[in-house]
Amino acid sequence: MTYTLVWDDPAHRQLRNLDPTTRKRVIKKTVSLESNPRPHGAKKLSGLPDTWRIRAGDYRILYTIEDDRLIVLVIKIGHRREVYR
């Protein structure tokens, strides 16, 4: 079962603003969500409904999972200091 990866517009802009090395790391992590949207190390966030996060170095990728439609929606990417604000 493969999920479809969808980027929210703000997340896509945040991805473009990253340096090339970090951008490659983030893309590699998000593409892996297509085959397993809940990988080892993924955490469900308590403050936001149905929102998960994975780490990519010092950056965090926030996303939601729609199991009924097989969609992973990337909603935010940011440095660990700023992403939860």
85 found inside a domain: no
Here the CATH number for the domain that contains residue 58 is: 3.30.2310.20
33 found inside a domain: yes
Query: Which domain range does residue 37 map to?
Result: 4-79
The radius of gyration of the chain from alpha carbons, rounded to an integer in Å, stands at 12
Reported confidence tier of residue 84, pLDDT bands at 50, 70, 90: confident
- 56, 49 in Cβ contact below 8 A? no
84 found inside a domain: no
**Reported pTM:** 0.94
70 found inside a domain: yes
Q: pLDDT tens digits for 23-71?
A: 999 999 999 999 999 999 999 999 888 899 999 999 999 999 999 999 9
64 found inside a domain: yes
18 found inside a domain: yes
Interatomic CA distance for residues 10 and 77, integer angstroms:
9
Residue 78: the pLDDT is 97
**Domains identified in the chain, total number:** 1
Residue 67: the pLDDT is 94
Closest CA to 60 of 7, 21, 17, 11: 11
